[in-house]
Structure 1
């Protein structure tokens, strides 16, 4: 039986100190989405949240459409479910077998798929056209011809009838085995290539519920860790002082969060295994000046870096020890 914890009450404006994942209310009130499972709606909310990272990194295609990277491994960690369920949740949202709230574009060569998160406020069944169709119509009207209607449906790959049909089938997705591969890219790990008996080994609903709760708890802990790290390093100040390094700063925050919230007993660092609590304590001691120091060292380094993650983690871990020696050496060189 799960242990009951003694949580404290909220007082005054304490609830505003947290960040929350936002799931659109319309997904629960609009009849169009009644066929979607609650977990698929949560996954869609997580993908909506991921778009803020895409905006910071400028991940847009030639038509200014935003895309995200959200792998199966991300879903497993955040949703706390088994791989079979995660695949079915992707399929529920997918434009091929599901309702069409996401569209996956494979890149090949082991790269993760680009995922376009579709606008839930507009769909073809209501407006009669997609964003791609609107772009095509505008282009045709400028040329003075109105032959773009057939082109619209060929570009989008789904007619209005097909969208409606896909939605009607979405309620049956839990009983289907989606034709999405389990290997060959970063979205699906190679270690699970054979899943022919997946339905036989599926955990029961009670176990799945507690797995989901554990996954949500892990996601909450990770989010709180990221907030703590951002405060420690004065994240907003870093951006203002280093506007050209915005992507690198986000990568540093992501790496620090991952390592500091890891449940591993040790972290392999600098060719040795260091206890995770020791690494966590060091990372949480870093401040704005340490991050700027690491950024400067990376920009000035002429050596070829083969494993940027290991290099960056090592630099962050040793930053409090080496920062003063580095700037002292620079001062001596400027005085000579």
Structure 2
């Protein structure tokens, strides 16, 4: 790319993320990776948005939402790196995370170190201030499992991979995976009056993915559970939007909503493309495009 130069009378035309200078100048943060410092700046940028949205706890502390999926997109990194950067910020005391459970996103408190006494920065011994690198790299087992699953999803060469029976911790890992994969925050924003339905869809998908049954009934047919699990692992945000739109367009009363949703979710990756093509063809025939 042949970009232009800056000229004498030219004013700044960029918007900026704020990354505190002290992260680069103080010994206390000497061993904090550059990527973690950048992520801190991204999280700091969300503070104003959180204030506007009223994301403040009972103690008056502002918190932000920033999912692993968002970090991966912002930092252009894999799941393991995204989890590691958050863990690194936690280890340095720059963030504090609080899980909400029940499929809700993790709350992140971005810590304000500007009020930390300057004498403490100056007197910080390098060995006392450093966080061992091995401590940052030792991820807990649920994060490793989630990373393996994300890498499998990205690599679509073998879509029918068996999803093992999972325990309580494994189920929670899959819940977090689905929350990020389906981009639930975006869905909540687009369907503000259908939050219960969206939660029901996520829970239903979670039940299927964690099921120990050999077969599951889809549209009247008993299908091997691994085939259904594989299909559900392909479902993304746009597929759920398609399911929601189909439900709104359906004028008949649904007697068995669970079976309806199972069939709709299972078929979404197969029918979304033809659905949009038919929509385009119809608009083209009527001269709208």
In which range does the TM-score fall when normalised by the shorter chain? 0.3 to 0.5
TM-score (norm 2): 0.47
TM-score (norm 1): 0.41
